[in-house]
A = this chain, B = another copy of it.
Amino acid sequence: MRTTINELLSDYKKVLHHDITVQGWVRAFRSNRFIALNDGSTINNLQVVVDFEKFDENILKNISTASSVKIVGEVVESQGAGQNIEVIAKKIQILGDNFTEERDKTILQPKKHSLEVLREQAHLRFRTNLFGAVFRVRSAISFAIHQFFNQNQFFYMNTPIITGADAEGAGEMFGVTNFDLNNIPRDENGDIDFEQDFFGKKTNLTVSGQLNVETAMMGLGRVYTFGPTFRAENSNTTRHLAEFWMVEPEVAFNNLEDNIDLAEDFLKYVIGYALENCKDDLEFLDKRFAEEQKQKPEKDRASEGLIEKLENVIKKRFKRVSYTEAIEILKNSKENKKGKFQFPIEDWGADLQSEHERYLVEKHFESPVVLFDYPKEIKAFYMKLNEDGKTVAAMDVLFPGIGEIIGGSQREERYDVLTEKMKTMNVDAHELWWYLDTRKFGSVPHAGFGLGLERLVLFVTGMTNIRDVIPFPRTPKNAEF
């Protein structure tokens, strides 16, 4: 394949004083002489030097921000600061038209635009430095996730997106139908006749692949699913998407401690991969983050820079704290005693809110924290009941600035305990016959967790609105593009 600007800039010595061909988009054309050329392979632009006397006026006229060009030229050591090399143009070809007037109504106009405006033109924001960086980092993180699991002998399982199950109760579901909504068939009782729908039953978009991936785990040992999941919740916040990507590993023979070890190794691997492979993008995001902090009142500023924060997460062992200990810490905290929590902590059994999680991570421990052994009442039916009869082997990994980034548990592998719990928690055992089968034939202890990809990308990029870390966000009243 041809040379990208990334290859050229990182390994230029062998082409110095040779002619090369580059293609890309003009980011700027200064003094009718210097083209800043970008091809998306890196955040860095290639400087192309144009001697205007050597080129046709018609060509020069069409070199403007956002236009695309093909350039043949000689690679030379750069005279100016800021780059090692530049290219002296010998041939210039305009590849694509640039509708300049229309361009100036878009975010491609060469001036600063707000994140809100960029979001309204999500189809064009890939062409900005910021979103180029964010989506290259997102891509690297996704690859690192696959690589981590592959290296640790996990198998990738695609769990279904369209599901007939409705039982897990992780959240509101979207309906999927092939009915003509103007003409929905009814049965003799006047009820909607889902037997006539495409799948012969009511179907929804999945909220989690966990129950399905557990069945694969019971044969293949170490598996993970990584795909889109959905929530039909009317949450218009900077933290919620109706469609987002989730990674869910599930491991046979793992207990809660193994599960915490896996989550910690996994997060450190993926963040380390980004630090190593996205240096230029992260440096750009680090500077942006620092500038954003300067705009804030001093008391609200982050205590660490972006890259510093990522490096610290990798260095330190995560703090592991039981729910019971956490409640004691919170109950006795100054914040609680002075009534500074919106939800005061009084008794064991309280569900922890974001303010409590952030207190533990950012104030008390100043470290990522893994909370474990939660009261059974506030956690899902499939989590393993501990010997105390009061808690389940659940775990949440809490990160600074983000709160919960991973939630998981050892699963209840005992058929009788599981069915008893389903009864108490009103989960339909009939619908989940296949899930229960996994506990009947050689059931094994096992554990797993879920990570929302976008939360991790938020953490690594320092972005603050989840709509800015997925290419085309789906949110209430918004499915544009």
- A243-B161 contact in complex given A102-B440, A441-B103, A442-B68, C-beta closer than 8 Å: yes
A474 in contact with B160 (CB, 8 Å) = yes
Q: Mark A150-189, 1 if CB is under 8 A from B, else 0.
A: 1011011111111111000000101111110110100000
List, in ascending order, chain B residues with CB within 8 A of A176's CB: 174-176, 205
B415 in contact with A97 (CB, 8 Å) = yes
Total interface residues in chain A, CB < 8 Å: 115
A41 in contact with B444 (CB, 8 Å) = no
Report the stretch among A139-147, A293-301, A336-344 that lies at the interface: A139-147
List, in ascending order, chain B residues with CB within 8 A of A474's CB: 160, 162, 199
Identify which of B175, B243, B443 contacts A95 (C-beta below 8 A).
B443
A476 interface residue per 8 A CB criterion: yes
Q: Tell me, in angstroms, the Cα distance from A183 to B136 when the chains sit together.
A: 44
List, in ascending order, chain B residues with CB within 8 A of A440's CB: 97-99, 102-103
Q: Tell me, in angstroms, the Cα distance from A78 to B174 when the chains sit together.
A: 56
A218 interface residue per 8 A CB criterion: yes
B177 in contact with A221 (CB, 8 Å) = no
A155 in contact with B175 (CB, 8 Å) = no
When all copies of this chain in the complex are counted, the total is 2
Q: Mark A82-117, 1 if CB is under 8 A from B, else 0.
A: 000000000000011111001100101000000000
Q: Which residue of chain B is the closest to A184 with respect to CB atoms?
A: B181
Distance in angstroms from A221 CB to nearest chain B CB is 3
List, in ascending order, chain B residues with CB within 8 A of A127's CB: 218-219
Q: Which residue of chain B is the closest to A128 with respect to CB atoms?
A: B219
- A219-B26 contact in complex given A68-B443, A158-B470, A164-B479, C-beta closer than 8 Å: no
A159 in contact with B68 (CB, 8 Å) = no
Q: Tell me, in angstroms, the Cα distance from A24 to B319 when the chains sit together.
A: 32
A25 interface residue per 8 A CB criterion: yes
Report the stretch among A1-9, A309-317, A363-371, A393-401 that lies at the interface: A1-9
Kindly list 6 other residue pairs between chains A and B, CB separation below 8 angstroms, not including A158-B228, A159-B471, A174-B177. Answer: A4-B222, A96-B413, A138-B156, A139-B157, A162-B479, A181-B184
